[in-house]
Chains A and B, each alone.
Chain A
Amino acid sequence: MLIHEHSRPGREGAPQAPAVKADVSDIPQQLLRQGRAALPEVSELQAVRHYTRLSQKNFAIDTHFYPLGSCTMKYNPRACNTLAMLPGFLARHPLTPDRYSQGFLACMYELQSMLCEAMGMAAFSLAPMAGAQGEFAGIKMISAYHQANNDDARREVLVPDAAHGTNPATATMCGFAVKEIPTLANGDVDLDALKAAAGPQTAGLMLTNPSTLGVFERQIEKIATIVHDAGGLLYYDGANLNAILGKIRPGDMGFDVIHTNLHKTFSTPHGGGGPGSGAVGVGERLKPFLPLPIVAEDGGSFRCLNEQDAPQSIGHLSAFMGNAGVLLRAYIYMRMLGKSGMERVAEFATLNANYMMAEAKRRGFQLAIPDRRASHEFIITLKKEASELHVTAMDFAKRLLDLGYHAPTTYFPLLVPECLLIEPTESEAKEALDGFMDALEQIREEAKNNPELVTGAPHTLPVKRLDEVNAARKLDLAFKIEEAAPR
């Protein structure tokens, strides 16, 4: 039932607002709302019970092993939440002058510095509110750089065909044409194709390393040389940073601009789909173009740079400080990890992924890229099971839910048919990994002996398999209760 269906006219909770509506007769009548917004009227207990019970229908990291590839579902330490919500941060208005906000700005400044160190970049901006916005900032900076050099012919951005969909979408949003570069079967970018494609029309290349195929781009230095020699810049999509944190840094690989996903690598909460943060870092060349605000230190105190300080900045991406609360959580996480902790992240994330990959192979599953090391994630293809047993990756995913596991990422990257992209993260104990592999084997057995169990899954969740076609054909996007009568 929807909360709206618990609604009864006149019902309300304990007073959360003034009991009597103040006089608004000084407002011209034709500008006032006639009648009341048709919002649900419920008691506080009804609301609390409803949303508590709804929460219990969710799978979450706190309740289930969640090996969702490319999403880095690691444990979200609760201290990050409690400390980010201390009243001194929580009640602060974003337009409070800098001199009264030194505690907050100190945290932001140190976060910028730590990100520079961890990523090997010269400067960072915390402005972008999600990875996609970070990408946008990165490509926009590349555009601004070429424009500043009067290099107007560079209208093309190169993107590997295995790239996440945000990459080409971002390039288009910035007014570029997109050219796709093929990926080879071993997971590396096709260097010959890249050489042929790079030229005076190239603004840059967007790349992630390790790639979306779960393997390290071994020829990264050659790639960097090809693109830089052609006069283009190199953009790093930080989605897979968890694989290399403390081992190798994007700046050292030759990237000119990177975005990080603080909600992946730095464990800010996924929250059912957000808020994220896509802090963006640059080398010296792109420093003048960083989006605002940036926190600077000036004789022991902190302040936000503005347009006068940064005349070539690409500008603002939000009205205020981006997702400030998320930034605080990332800061707290990084302080708790510290140098030693940070250097262990990639180690255990990669160990867990390679262990699962070896187990997958041992148990007879087909690896998409069998002869390479896994990064922090790896891919199984269920092509064989699909053709022999007539069960798809989707069916496997749904049956995993019944067995108490959130499914891995399915059907991404698009290049691998019937694939599962599995990312355990460093947070999980060996038993969780073994249990998951056992579950995969069990499903394969069921597919042979009792296929309905798999193709009809899930069976034990609040709903069975949902009709997405119907949802898209007969759009039902909002519930309308009758307009309430004016009081």
Chain B
Amino acid sequence: MLQVIGIPDTDALFDEIPPHLRVAGLDGIPETMSEMEVSQLMHRRAAENKQAVCFIGAGAYEHHIPAAVWQLATRGEYYTAYTPYQAEASQGTLQLTYEYQSMMTALTDMDVSNASLYDGASALAEAMLMAVRANRKSKSRRILMPRTVHPAYRKTADTIVSGQNIELVEVEYDRNTGTVQLDAIQQAAGQDATAVVIQQPSFFGTLEDVDAITDWAHRNNMLVIAITNPLTITVLKPPGQWGSQGADIACGDGQPLGAPLSSGGPYFGFLCSTQALVRQMPGRIVGRTIDVDGNEGFVLTLQAREQHIRRSKATSNICTNQGLVVTASTIHMAIMGPQGLENSAAACHANTRELVAQLSTIPGVSQAFSSPMFHEAVLTLDRPADEVLSALAEYNILGGYDLGAEYPELGHAILVCATELRTEEEITAYRSALQTVLEQEQETRQKEIA
């Protein structure tokens, strides 16, 4: 090969690089490890993560995933394929993605879905950019953002949209119900707002008055951006059915549909909209078409809006979707089926309800909000949440998410969730452990006082 190229050695390949800039060697990188050695290392590292029963939700949920899902998704033909730019050689990925889009529109009851975005938080940012671009009836760049929307989503969305002169207007929630009230939204809107964001169930697990808010927004020339956990809408009313016209854009994280917790990712963001907004949709979209013989086939479409063609006028800079995770999720939805998903969601609700009922019997533990909840709930404690959670961890229980940093006004509060995986024994064990923990702390305090 060197002969064909006409060079004496491989070093000559780099003769165009200024020699004084060349690095002598990557001395800070540890030496090569065999697969066996790396395997041993990773097993050790995996064991260093605490094994515990998980009662944390807060945007990532532990669900049962059928064994076939990831066995199929990690087939080399899916795992090592690229973006389907040569459509004829990628009909597997393209058809699967079309099926994914179809399933998401059915779930959300919206008209169109794209092929996914990175995660729920960045999908919210894209939904907001879309709303500002698309709202022909309002030139405003203010978007109403209730505090009952996931705090990490609000932070991320702000990071992504703030460079484009878009203002997130915070709307306070009602301390009794844990939901946002229409009059608070109305006040925050003032003279101009282009969109309102509603998360259902809210970050707290409470249920917002989606119909009233949606109809009010439409009467006032605003678009409605819905954030939802896609598993919950098998039981709860989907965004396409909110109010009399339905939400305009629906987004959220698809993780509950077949993506393992996996230390935080990869998940995927889904984005759906009404037909009217389809040309403002960022990211990839797959369309069904025919080939020259009239046979059905699938292609990436509406690419002219994307970065590789529009460049500085693109709707967004997004280049990838979450291909492999979408693959798994589509297979997951097909195997679970609509009744399976619905029963799973209902079981999460029932288990959380049971968990809350049991824990509330313990002195010092109470439900924070009076309104109906679904799938998650906020409990207030009479001790600092971080101490309680640390003590529970000694029993190998991850008791919930400490809300102190983002919602200090709630006092000592935790967000708890019991998915369909949590057994009766695990829930009883949690109650028993918490009771012991709080009694022990009570005793310790009494001794200190005495």
Contact = CB atoms under 8 A, between A and B. Distances in A.
A60 B77 contact: yes
A28 interface: yes
B202 to A, nearest CB: 12
A56 interface: yes
Contact of A273 (B93, B158, B165): B93
B198 interface: no
Contacts of B324: 269, 271-272, 274-275
B280 interface: no
- Residue from A56, A165, A170 whose CB has the most chain B CB atoms within 10 Å: A165
Interface string B300-335: 011010111111111011111111111100110111
B86 interface: yes
Interface in B74-124: 74-93, 95-99, 101-107, 109, 111-113, 115-116, 118-122
B95 A32 contact: no
B292 A467 contact: yes
B227 to A, nearest CB: 11
B299 A466 contact: yes
Contacts of B153: 319
Given A133-B118, A140-B159, A317-B159, A471 B287 contact: yes
Contact of A319 (B120, B158, B346): B120
A47 B90 contact: no
Contacts of A270: 80-83, 323
A3 interface: yes
A247 B338 contact: no
A100 B394 CA distance: 11
Given A335-B38, A463-B291, A465-B291, A273 B82 contact: yes
Interface in B319-376: 319-327, 330-331, 333-344, 346-347, 349-350, 353, 372, 374
A182 to B, nearest CB: 15
Interface stretch (A171-179, A194-202, A225-233, A380-388): A171-179
Interface string B136-167: 00000000000000101101101110011100
B199 interface: no
A24 B10 contact: no
Contacts of A449: none
Nearest to A177: B312
Contacts of B326: 272, 274
B28 A3 contact: no
A314 B265 contact: no
Contact of B343 (A20, A59, A90, A276): A20
B27 interface: yes
A336 B344 contact: no
B95 to A, nearest CB: 6
Nearest to A79: B35
A379 interface: no
A267 B216 CA distance: 50
A323 to B, nearest CB: 4
Contacts of B310: 165, 169
B340 A16 contact: yes
Interface in B206-259: 207, 210-211, 233-238, 241, 253
Given A130-B320, A221-B18, A273-B320, A41 B32 contact: no
B159 A315 contact: yes
B316 A338 contact: no
Contacts of A478: 98, 101-102, 104-106, 111-113
A66 interface: yes
B115 to A, nearest CB: 7
Interface string A1-20: 01110000001110111111
A135 B307 CA distance: 13
A106 B45 contact: yes
B341 A326 contact: no
A218 B293 CA distance: 50
Interface string A393-422: 000011001000011010010000000000
Interface in B48-75: 48-52, 54, 56, 58-60, 62, 64, 66, 68, 70, 72, 74-75
Interface string A59-96: 11111001010010100110101011111111111111
Interface stretch (A280-288, A355-363, A438-446): A355-363
Given A40-B337, A90-B260, A463-B88, A319 B152 contact: yes
B131 interface: no
Nearest to B64: A16
A477 interface: yes
A303 interface: no
Contact of A169 (B92, B121, B316, B344): B316
Given A19-B343, A79-B38, A320-B265, A464 B295 contact: yes
Given A52-B72, A96-B50, A323 B26 contact: no
Contacts of A326: 265-266
A136 B119 CA distance: 16
B425 interface: no
Interface stretch (B1-9, B169-177, B181-189, B435-443): B1-9
Given A318-B119, A319-B153, 6 more contacts: A16-B340, A33-B233, A39-B106, A95-B56, A116-B28, A463-B88
17 contacts: A11-B337, A33-B236, A39-B333, A51-B331, A79-B38, A93-B60, A94-B261, A116-B28, A136-B317, A218-B18, A221-B21, A274-B322, A274-B325, A320-B152, A325-B262, A354-B13, A481-B106
Instruction: List the 9 closest pairs (A to B, CB-CB), nearest first.
Output: A88-B46, A271-B324, A338-B32, A62-B76, A103-B48, A94-B264, A321-B264, A320-B264, A273-B323
